Amino acid sequence: MDSKESKNKIGFTYAIQGITYVWKHERNFRLHILALLLVIVAGFIARVSAIEWMFICLVSGLVLATEMINSALELMIDYLKPAIHPSAKAIKDIAAGSVLISALLAIVVGSIIFIPKVMDVL
Is 52 noted as a catalytic residue in this protein?
Answer: no
Catalytic residue among 5, 26, 52, 67: 67
Contacts of residue 82, defined as CB under 8 A and 6 or more positions apart, other chains included, come to none
Cα distance between residue 48 and residue 11, in whole Å: 35
Cα distance between residue 27 and residue 32, in whole Å: 9
Q: Which has the closest alpha carbon to 30: 39, 42, 22? A: 22
CB 63 within 8 A of CB 32: yes
Catalytic residues: 67
